[in-house]
Amino acid sequence: MKVSMLVLAGAALIAVGSAQAQDGKALLQKSGCTACHAEDKKLVGPAYKDVAAKYKGDAAAAAKLAEKVKKGGSGVWGPVPMPPNAAVKDDDVKTMLTYILALKK
């Protein structure tokens, strides 16, 4: 009985994680981020998987990247600037970054 409860709990966590991942992916598309970024290849900006790899293990990554999303910036990935995205809700930025930073290369 205990094993089956653990299996159910694990399945529930996987479902929640999967739903959050889908939310993050959908928000990236809805917010227009995919015009310049793709999951696994460089377009105008870096691939999301490259971003995840660069910031792997950096506890401050989400905060740094949230500020970059909101204010824009340049120089980290080359000379092309990323425009500010101040209109994107903070909670949406957090969901998108959670998705991006969880990607594996």
Q: What is the pLDDT of residues 40-66, one digit of tens each?
A: 999 999 999 999 999 999 999 999 999
Tell me the HSE value of 58 on the side-chain side, using a 13 A CA sphere. Answer: 13
Give the chain's domain count: 1
Residue 95's domain spans which residues?
2-101
The pLDDT of residue 8: 42
Distance in angstroms (rounded) separating the CA atoms of residues 65 and 51: 9
pTM for this model (two decimals): 0.79
Residue 82 belongs to a domain with what CATH number?
A: 1.10.760.10
